[in-house]
Amino acid sequence: MTVNSVIAGPTHTGGVEDFVHELVDKELPWDEAQREFMRLHRPQSLLQRLIEPEEIANLVVYLSSAQASATTGAAVRVDGGYVDSILP
């Protein structure tokens, strides 16, 4: 038996999309609103975009497959390179 966990970072969902639009500008198209949000509120993100649910699902599929049979006890991050810091 293998046991692993997936640690998802900021993920693009309908609720998050509404939240981002509220913070930056309701009138902006999604791609522009997301870029502005990342610039203002998540500049330490290496990917500079939210993670799509499919990207998280792809990791779950892999970890559930025979290809990952030697991986156990792992906490695998899908966070788009988001690096939280104590520095502003």
In 3-state terms, what secondary structure has residue 27?
Answer: coil
Confidence of residue 62 (pLDDT cuts 50, 70, 90): very high
pLDDT given for residue 48 in this prediction: 92
Q: So where are the chain's domains?
A: 5-78
Q: Are strands 75-78 and 5-8 parallel, antiparallel or unpaired?
A: parallel
Q: Are the C-beta atoms of residues 38 and 48 closer than 8 Å to each other?
A: yes
For 10-30, the pLDDT digits (tens) are: 999 999 999 999 999 999 999
Confidence of residue 37 (pLDDT cuts 50, 70, 90): very high
In 3-state terms, what secondary structure has residue 77?
Answer: strand
Mean pLDDT confidence for 57-64: 97
